[in-house]
A = this chain, B = another copy of it.
Amino acid sequence: MRYLLLLSFALFAWKAKDPVKIVFFGDSITQAGVQPKGYVSVIQQYIAQKYPGQYEAIGAGISGNKIYDLYFRFEEMLELKPDVVVFYIGINDVWHKQSAGTGTDVDRFTRFYERMIERLKAKNIRVVLATPSVIGERTDASNPQDGDLNYYAGIVRNLAQKHGLDLVDLRREFLEYDRKNNPENAEKGILTTDRVHLNEKGNAFVAGQMIKVLFK
């Protein structure tokens, strides 16, 4: 009888040690991130080596998503029972202004983003924000939407600061990396395949940036 009790307790303790679930909430970059060499997979491999069983990296990205699409599937994402939610969003909100006339206004971007942050904080879920990385890798500030993307990155930085959240400043890190590694001022091919989506090096780079902030 005493052993049964002990066993029960042990089981309970073990159960309590469910891995910390980290959900990456984003667009096509995150959707591709769960592919073998995608950034979510790289983070999961890192976890398997350093923190086996303690964390779990889960991708929740859907191609084309803008901030309000995340809001649309917010409840569905919550069903994944995240302990941490990492937002990596904003590229399409800017990009689609030009490519389809269906980008996101500055006020909506802020408003939808902030409401999700507040709801997660109310549930004691850790929130991490990532700034939108790049739409074009030219290093002389001449990618057509650089200005707008910088502005939206600024909104994300402000939200992180206002809500005391950890920030993965991908925008800044990408710019710095490209400045050092793109001597030809190419618009793609350094960390992206097509100015936006990550190549293998880009996925590794994002994983590294995420890891620095998540497991600091």
Partner-B contacts on A (CB < 8 A): 68-69, 71-72, 96-98, 100-105, 108, 111-112, 115, 136, 140-151, 154
Given contacts A100-B105, A102-B102, contact A72 B147 (CB under 8 A): no
B residues near A68, Cβ cutoff 8 Å = 68, 71-72, 108, 112
Contact partner, A142, options B103, B112, B142, B150, Cβ 8 Å: B150
Q: How far is the CA of A140 from the CA of B155 in the complex (A)?
A: 13
**Within the oligomer, what is the number of copies of this chain?**
4
A50 and B96 alpha carbons, distance in the complex (Å): 49
Chain B residues with Cβ under 8 A from A143's Cβ? 147, 151
B residues in contact with A105, CB < 8 Å:
96, 100, 102
How far apart are the CA atoms of A194 and B157 in the complex, in Å? 27
In the assembled complex, which residues on chain B have CB atoms less than 8 Å from the CB atom of A148?
A: 142, 144-145, 147
Q: Which residues of chain B are within 8 angstroms of A108 by Cβ–Cβ distance?
A: 68-69, 72, 102
- Extra contacts besides A144-B148, A145-B147 (19): CB < 8 Å: A68-B68, A68-B71, A69-B108, A72-B108, A72-B115, A96-B101, A102-B104, A102-B105, A102-B108, A136-B147, A140-B150, A140-B154, A141-B146, A141-B150, A142-B148, A142-B151, A144-B151, A146-B150, A147-B148
